[in-house]
Amino acid sequence: MSQRPRHAPDPARRRETSRRAILTAAFELAGEVGYSGLSIEGIAARAGVGKQTIYRWWPSKGAVLLDALMLALQGEAPQENAAPQDDAALPDTGDLRADLKTVLRATVAELNDPRFDGPLRALAVEMLNDPLLAARYAEHIEKPMRRMKTARLHSAQRAGELPQDADLGLAVELLWGTLRAAWLERHRPLTPAYADLIVDTVLDGLRAGARR
Amino acid sequence: MSQRPRHAPDPARRRETSRRAILTAAFELAGEVGYSGLSIEGIAARAGVGKQTIYRWWPSKGAVLLDALMLALQGEAPQENAAPQDDAALPDTGDLRADLKTVLRATVAELNDPRFDGPLRALAVEMLNDPLLAARYAEHIEKPMRRMKTARLHSAQRAGELPQDADLGLAVELLWGTLRAAWLERHRPLTPAYADLIVDTVLDGLRAGARR
Amino acid sequence: MSQRPRHAPDPARRRETSRRAILTAAFELAGEVGYSGLSIEGIAARAGVGKQTIYRWWPSKGAVLLDALMLALQGEAPQENAAPQDDAALPDTGDLRADLKTVLRATVAELNDPRFDGPLRALAVEMLNDPLLAARYAEHIEKPMRRMKTARLHSAQRAGELPQDADLGLAVELLWGTLRAAWLERHRPLTPAYADLIVDTVLDGLRAGARR
Amino acid sequence: MSQRPRHAPDPARRRETSRRAILTAAFELAGEVGYSGLSIEGIAARAGVGKQTIYRWWPSKGAVLLDALMLALQGEAPQENAAPQDDAALPDTGDLRADLKTVLRATVAELNDPRFDGPLRALAVEMLNDPLLAARYAEHIEKPMRRMKTARLHSAQRAGELPQDADLGLAVELLWGTLRAAWLERHRPLTPAYADLIVDTVLDGLRAGARR
DNA sequence: GGTTAATCGAGACGGTACGTCACGTCTTGTT
DNA sequence: AACAAGACGTGACGTACCGTCTCGATTAACC
């Protein structure tokens, strides 16, 4: 069931310093040279590490990048057995509209952070080519985040702020997905006002006479 | 005397058969081997063409792909001086909701077409790495399409189906962008029902008590 | 207090089973994969031994091979303090020509033995690249053999079968060296007749009218 | 019959400057770093050439080395259709003994030339591992040389200086082979006196009473 | 209709990165 | 302390494509 690849390396013998050096180098290089300029060879050189040490522990360039981002974002790479921040939750003041604006504005700020732009784009591109990487990302980042988001919407549903039959998954896609697409495809500058606009429009809809 | 600069090929002498062979090969290969397996050498070999013939007429692999897709979709690559289907328009029966569902269902059908999935994905990836290509795409495909979409929404606005102050650009992003993201990132199977759901949710919003 | 320098292993604690396994593996692998395919990693893996155990006791791949051959040939690897077969001698029937043919035919048989061909070639190649190994080989194999050969020739000299001023060293090179070169460079099939021919030609010379 | 490997490159398009640069670099590096330090990568770097350009035209490192030596020795690499110096011949003054000494002394001088020692050794080692290379060497160098040598001995045979039934091939091996072995395995310093000694001993034999 | 110049196919070239292999050193338990 | 195991930094391997650059051999426009 939990079948390992041939000659699986022993994680207990793994050298932590090399792991950190690799992830740091990958993160920095992704920011400096972008996705298309990122290479395993470059990461190994910058990290002062043999290429084999990368190939030993990661199945692909994208997997390195994912761990690098998780290290940079959360201060730690995903642990197989450790649930990542189960206690984290979105703010819940009782006012869904205000809370969503707060959160989407924070997302805007994060996506505008020049340190994360390069690595995040590189990871996004990698995931389009690599379903396994996308699955890993979904497992470790997408799913927990989506759970938090859905939880907040569900709370609003219970409070009567959202209809009982609302499709909360689609709501997440409309709110955050639209923001993410605007960032990824650069067709809009990301501003707090844009975040607010998304929230208002998604909550109120486009129907004539809708009041905000 | 009026000597052409060294690297300005003469379009009049261009060999049409080679052009078609290249675009066809690019389209087919993108479908067969995906983005990461697509190479200029592969296209040239499959097309029975010298590499230089590609480099002479296209600035990048992505540009070839774009033309290949336009040839496949519209039966013709973009002409610099020809306005692309100015007369095309979205259906306008007076019922915005129904018209949008019709159009989004058609989009679902197109994105589900296995012939287009590979090339479209490949182009999407290329555009993330190549702003010039993205600009070219925007110019020749995105903008005309967006104009059509916005025109339909504007018509609805005039008919009182949408509020005067609605942000039609955002509306387009919510409607089609969400669908495109679901396709590109594969987090939902694309079905007509999903298209309908998007239309309803975006038109009506998420507020409690929203009428559908 | 009387602390041993860090890298001076204690021969008393050496594990004999590992030593044998290493030498056996080296000998077999040299026969199977040839010189260019022979690797320390391969030897260690086949012997079920850590690489360090090889590096601890032998200075180079060639040194392992040398010991492996001595184990296979003489049943024992060279001991630093043990004189190697001092009592061994070439046959001395009083007929130099006959005795030399006997010995060279035996050499032919040994070189034709498929079990030894691979390892011997591998060792020969190693020695060309590694003067220290060549010296070690000379010390433990070449010199004792040469002493035996020279002794037999010297005996013939005393018996009047060879002139007093004959260069016995050169004689050894002409007799055995020519045979060895024919084997190593494969420019002749090694047959007993060839051995006889060498003996006759070297003893009699090429001059016209030479008696055989 | 004359089947080429898949996708055989077109010799007409070959760049002569690159060929020379590669052969020169290989020759120099073989002298500087020896066989074990010689690498395709090193040759390519020193020659300012892509590795593929080497792999395109030569099947192995040894083949490069062979051509490099032929360029250095004869001023030209082997041409498929050109017979290499058919007119060349060993001196023939009518005195075999003197002529052989002249030639072997010249060989001594060549083998002692520090420029050739490294490359020649490297080639010798390569040939032991690579029968195809050895065959190529035999074809282009060994055979022509051997023909010249045999011709001189045959001439002596006709002149009555050698017996009619002498094995001229073995004679060549005894004369030059012994010299070459002494050089390759370094068991003797190569001096003109040693050359003379070989000639005298091989011509006269070791028999008691042989007069010179 | 013959001339001529640009495009064409083909592919060699100097490079960069790939993913693998073995090197010799080192580190971590086990015997 | 030697051992089996194997991770590590290093560097060469042989391959795939990159984008540039020659080569004749077609073309196709212009004389």
Residue in chain B lying closest to A171 (CA)? B206
Q: Are B119 and B30 in contact (CB under 8 A)?
A: yes
Q: Is the CB of A34 within 7 Å of strand E?
A: no
- Residues D49/D40, Cβ–Cβ less than 8 Å: no
* Same domain, yes or no: A109 and A62: no
Which residues in chain D have Cβ-Cβ distances shorter than 8 Å to C203? 205-207
* Chain B residues whose beta carbon lies within 8 Å of the beta carbon of residue A117: none
Predicted confidence at residue D167, as pLDDT, reads: 94
Going by beta carbons, is chain B in contact with chain D, meaning 3 or more pairs sit under 8 Å apart? no
Q: How confident is the model at residue C205 (pLDDT cuts 50, 70, 90)?
A: confident
Q: For C176, which residue in chain D has the nearest alpha carbon?
A: D178
CB spacing of D128 vs C131 below 8 angstroms: no
Name the closest nucleotide to D42, judged by C1' and CA: F12
Q: Are residues C158 and C115 in the same domain?
A: yes
In this complex, the nucleotide whose C1' atom is nearest to the CA atom of residue B14 is E7
Q: If you measure CA to C1', which residue is closest to nucleotide F24?
A: D13
| Residue B134 falls inside a structural domain | yes
Q: Which nucleotides of E are covered by protein (CB under 7 A)?
A: 6-29
In whole angstroms, give the CA distance from residue C92 to residue C151.
10
Would you say residue A183 lies in a domain?
Answer: yes
User: Closest to B205 (Cβ–Cβ): which among A128, A178, A205?
Assistant: A205
pLDDT over 90 (residue C208) = no
Residues from chain B that touch A35, judged by Cβ atoms under 8 A, are: 128-129
Q: Per the domain annotation, does B100 fall within a domain?
A: yes
Same domain, D102 and D69: no
- For an interface test with C, give the residue of D35, D187, D207, D211 to mutate (most C CBs within 10 A): D207
pLDDT band per the 50, 70, 90 thresholds, residue A80: very low
Residue C134, domain extent: 96-204
Judge if the beta carbon of D115 is closer than 7 A to nucleic acid strand E. Answer: no
Residues of chain B neighbouring A142 (CB-CB closer than 8 A):
187
Interface test with chain B among A157, A206, A207, A211, by most B beta carbons within 10 Å? A206
Interchain contact D/C (3 or more Cβ pairs less than 8 Å): yes
Residues D53 and D146 in one domain: no
Distance CA D211, CA D205 (A): 10
CA C19 to C1' F20, in angstroms, rounded, equals 58
pLDDT of D186 reads 84
Write down the H helix ranges in chain C: 16-37, 40-47, 51-57, 61-74, 96-112, 114-129, 131-137, 143-158, 168-172, 178-184, 192-204
Contact B186, B99 (CB under 8 A): no
Contact D197 C134 (CB under 8 A): no
D210/C163 CB distance under 8 A: yes
Chains A and B touch (3+ CB pairs under 8 A): yes
Helix (H, G, I), strand (E, B) or coil at C187: coil
Tell me whether residue B2 is in a domain: no
Residue after which a domain boundary falls, among D41, D74, D107: D74
Asked if residue B2 has pLDDT above 60, the reply is: no
**Least CB-CB distance to A181: which of B129, B163, B177?**
B177
Q: D 39-98 residues with CB below 8 A of C?
A: none
Quick one: which residue's CA is nearest to F4's C1'?
Answer: C50
DSSP string, A71-124: HHHHSSPPPSSS-S-TT------S-HHHHHHHHHHHHHHHHH-HHHHHHHHHHH
When pLDDT is averaged across residues C51-78 and rounded to a whole number, the result is 87
Q: Are residues C104 and C70 in the same domain?
A: no
CA A43 to chain centre: 21
The Cα-based distances of B88 to A125, B173, C21 in angstroms read 33, 20, 81
Average model confidence (pLDDT) across chain A: 89
CATH of residue D48's domain is 1.10.10.60
Counting the structural domains of chain D, the total is: 2
Given C40, C74, C108, the domain boundary residue is C74
Q: Can you give the length of chain B in residues?
A: 212
Mutate: best of A165, A185, A199, partner B, most B CBs <10 A: A185
Q: Does residue A81 fall inside a structural domain?
A: no
Residues 6+ apart with CB under 8 A from B51: B40, B41, B44
Contact between C196 and C101 under an 8 Å Cβ cutoff? The reply is yes
**In this structure, is residue D36 part of a structural domain?**
yes
The answer on A123 and A39 residing in a single domain is: no
| Residue-wise pLDDT tens digits, D72-91 | 987 654 444 444 455 678 99
Question: What phi, psi does D91 have (nearest 5°)?
Answer: -60, 145
CATH code: domain of residue C123: 1.10.357.10
Q: Which of D's residues 11-30 have CB atoms within 7 A of nucleic strand E?
A: 13-15, 18-19, 21
pLDDT, position A73? 82
Query: Is residue A21 situated within a structural domain?
Result: yes
Which two structure tokens, joined as six digits, stand for A151?
């939880």
Alpha helices in A113-165 (DSSP H): 114-129, 131-137, 143-158
The upper half-sphere exposure of residue C35, i.e. CA atoms within 13 Å in the direction of its Cβ, equals: 21
Considering the domain architecture, whether residues A35 and A124 belong to the same structural domain is answered as no
Distance of CA A157 to the CA centre of its chain: 25
Residue B24, CB, less than 7 Å from strand E? Answer: no
- Chain A: residue nearest B171 by CA? A206
Q: Are residues A197 and A120 in the same domain?
A: yes
Last residue of a domain, one of C21, C44, C74: C74
Residues A65 and A115 in one domain: no
Nucleotides of F under 7 A from a protein CB: 1-24, 27-29
Q: pLDDT by residue (tens digit) across D12-58?
A: 999 999 999 999 999 999 999 988 899 999 999 999 999 999 999 99
- D146 near D172, Cβ under 8 Å? yes
- Residue of D207 and D111 predicted with greater confidence: D111
For residues A58 and A147, membership in a common domain is answered with no
What confidence tens digit (pLDDT) does each residue in C100-149 have? 999 999 999 999 999 999 999 999 999 998 999 999 999 989 999 999 99
**For B77-94, what is each residue's pLDDT tens digit?**
444 444 445 567 999 999
Does residue B210 belong to any structural domain of this protein?
A: no
Looking at the structure, do residues A100 and A184 belong to the same domain, yes or no? yes
Per-residue pLDDT of B136-148, as tens digits, reads 999 989 999 999 9
Q: Stated in angstroms, how far is B134 CA from E6 C1'?
A: 31
Least confidently predicted of A47-51, B188-192, C91-95, C202-206: C202-206
Q: B62 and B127: one domain?
A: no
Query: B185 CB near a chain A CB, below 8 Å?
Result: yes
